[in-house]
A and B are shown apart, each in its own frame.
Chain A
């Protein structure tokens, strides 16, 4: 069964610094997708970045990049130049493509990021 592990319950980073949020996954499906979402206190899940298992390049979206290491089954999120507005919960999620559950995401437990002055 698929599993997502986020080992950092909480992280602190100073404004303008870069931060890496860890995510490891486990799946037997060779075709899968990895997501990162940001959830502020309002509750909305905001899509940040996506990496497909067959993508050759690491995904990037503005200040967000995904450090995808397939052999190690890790998909760490890197936020560059942190801003106060980045303070939120961050969730890593995975979906398997070939199991007929392509719209079912398995989520990690999340990392609460606090950006300080």
Chain B
């Protein structure tokens, strides 16, 4: 089956602009979570969406937001971009039923690499 698809793969923005990243999960997966990866902070959890609802949120400012559609596809948005937002943004897809099954079904996409100038 098809894997997790993230678009765009690369993008360059300038400070103050906003950006929208997209993630299509594996078919049948209802949970989409987002991570930010930077050399200084490593991999950090941004938020998770399940059945169109934000289920968990990491410690990021309100400039970072997201949503999930009825087909489980998710978008994340970063407004008023800062230089420090330059990062690889990774999306992960899972069944969303881990509390019941405790499975390893959690797969990542190739990421969207954002550069802020």
Contacts and interface: CB of A to CB of B under 8 A. Distances in A.
Interface residues of B, number: 28
Contacts of B110: 42-44
A35 interface: yes
Contact of A33 (B42, B45, B104, B113): B104
A107 to B, nearest CB: 4
A37 interface: yes
Contacts of B92: 45, 103, 105
A74 B99 CA distance: 22
B66 interface: no
Q: Interface on chain B toward A: helix, strand, loop, or mixed SS?
A: strand
Interface stretch (A10-18, A19-27, A77-85, A94-102): A94-102
Interface string B35-75: 10000001101001010000110100000000000000000
Interface in B85-117: 88, 90, 92, 94, 96, 98-99, 102-104, 106-111, 113
Contacts of B107: 47
Nearest to A61: B104
Interface of A: 31, 33, 35, 37, 42-47, 49-54, 91, 93, 95, 97-98, 100-107, 109-110
